[in-house]
Amino acid sequence: MTAVLDAAPPPDAGPAVAPAPAPARPRRTGRVGDLVLKVVAGLVLVYLFAPIAVIVLFSFNEPRGKFNLTWKGFTLENWAHPFKYPQLTDALVTSLHVAALSTAIALVLGTLAALALVRHRFRGDGGVDAFLVLSLTAPEVVMGASLLTMFIDFGWNRGFGTIVLAHVSFEVAFVALTVRARLRGFDWTLEDASMDLGATPLRTFRLVTLPLILPGIVAAAMLSFALSLDDFIITYFNSGSTVTYPLYVNAATKTGLPPQINVLATSILLVSLALLGLAVLWQRRFGHDRLTRSTSP
């Protein structure tokens, strides 16, 4: 009896609490599974980056003959004269002009479309979404041929202008969907608060809305510029006598492939990586500044 009373809890004690179960340990796939996963991931990375590595490597290949397809020896001569061929340089400059102009137009149209789709509800907004997705999923051959037919029906001469319009037609969808993703979590009460304090709608957009969605716009601009710079099929249908960088490279594979093509391609790659790094740093700085302003008293 005494042993039973000693084992019983005191009358003022609370209900007994069961001990918490031990956390479940994550299941391990084993050494063989981990090794297979690492090997597959490594092969995928090699498959993705091997062509880029070949382009960079052959930009240092010693030029012998018309085609830069076999390794002859290491040299820096190609990098010392990257603009040796005027036609190649002109084609690259044309591509840069097309990409810059079409990206600027697509940014304005795509950003306004994203704002309209997210902020307002109107009849036919589902159809607009369908058309945006359709321009991304449709084969480039179909888009190029349809744009060619439209330009011919209008009686327009194909050239620089038709290339810009053709690139804008598919860049708008990328810009609209990218900016729209940025607007998903936007707090629209910030605009109401700004206008309640006396700011005009234009001033509110310039000082409140635009800075908050600017990272999405920058990402859309970089994506559109890259897509325009390397587009071949749609450009081929609507270029006329205008030669862009991809069109020149395609023609060079039949007549002669100078190493300067690899030099300029490597330069574009390096510039793209530098811009991507700056964009990442800027977005981190932008997010840090927003967090600091939101937590400051």
What gap in Å lies between CA 192 and CA 65, rounded to an integer?
67
The dihedral formed by the CA atoms of 261, 262, 264 and 267, expressed in degrees to the nearest 10: 170
Nearest of 163, 179, 272 to residue 228 by alpha carbon? 163
Three-state secondary structure call for residue 74: strand
CA 254 to each of CA 14, 57, 66, 98: distance values in angstroms, whole numbers, following the listed order = 88, 21, 10, 25
Q: What's the mean per-residue pLDDT of the chain?
A: 83
- Which residue would you say has higher pLDDT here, 258 or 16? 258
pLDDT of residue 167: 95
Q: Higher model confidence: residue 134 or residue 279?
A: 134
* Structural domains of the chain in order of their starting residue, each with its CATH number: 86-257 (1.10.3720.10)
From CA 246, how far away is CA 235, in angstroms rounded? 9
DSSP state of 61: B
What are 74's strand-pairing partners?
A: 61
With bands split at pLDDT 50, 70 and 90, how would you rate the model's confidence at 236?
A: very high
pLDDT at 295 over 50: no
- Give residue 52's Cα distance to chain centre: 18
Per-residue pLDDT for 281 more than 60?
yes
Tens digits of per-residue pLDDT, 40-78? 999 999 999 998 999 999 999 888 777 888 888 888 988
Distance in angstroms (rounded) separating the CA atoms of residues 141 and 137: 12
Most confident of 5-19, 93-107, 116-130, 214-228: 93-107
At 292, is the pLDDT very low, low, confident or very high (cuts 50, 70, 90)?
A: low
Plot region of 184 (φ>0 → left; ψ -120 to 50 → alpha; else → beta): alpha
* pLDDT confidence band for 1 (50 / 70 / 90): very low
When pLDDT is averaged across residues 35-41 and rounded to a whole number, the result is 91
| Percent of the chain whose predicted confidence (pLDDT) is above 70 | 85
3-class SS at 66? coil
- pLDDT above 90 covers a percentage of the chain that reads 33
In this prediction, residue 294 carries a pLDDT of 46
Mean pLDDT of the region 245-272? 88
* pLDDT score at 2: 47
Buried b (16+ CB within 10 A) or exposed e, 160-186: bbbbbbbbbbbbbbbbbbbbbebbeeb
Reading phi first (left if > 0) and then psi (alpha if -120 to 50, else beta), residue 284 is in alpha
Say what the pLDDT of residue 92 is.
92
Buried b (16+ CB within 10 A) or exposed e, 140-149: eeebbeebbe
Report the alpha-carbon distance of residue 84 to residue 76 in Å, rounded.
Answer: 14
SS3 185: coil
Residues 55 and 262: beta-carbon distance below 8 Å = yes
Entry pTM? 0.77
C-beta neighbour count of 278 within 10 angstroms = 11
Looking at residue 17, what is its pLDDT?
55
Q: 126 near 192, Cβ under 8 Å?
A: no
3-class secondary structure, 67:
strand
Residue 290 is predicted with a pLDDT of: 55
